[in-house]
Amino acid sequence: AYQGGVETAYREPRARAIVCTLVVEKLGLSGREVARKLEMSPSAVSKALLRGRLDTRTEVIWKEMVKLDSKSP
Claim: this prediction has a pTM higher than 0.85: no
Residue 10 has pLDDT above 70, yes or no: no
In the DSSP assignment, the letter for residue 43 is H
Neighbours of 24 (CB within 10 A): 20
Q: Quick check: 37 and 31 in contact, CB under 8 A? A: no
Q: How far is it, in rounded angstroms, from Cα 6 to Cα 34?
A: 26
Quick one: pLDDT band at residue 46, thresholds 50, 70, 90?
A: very high
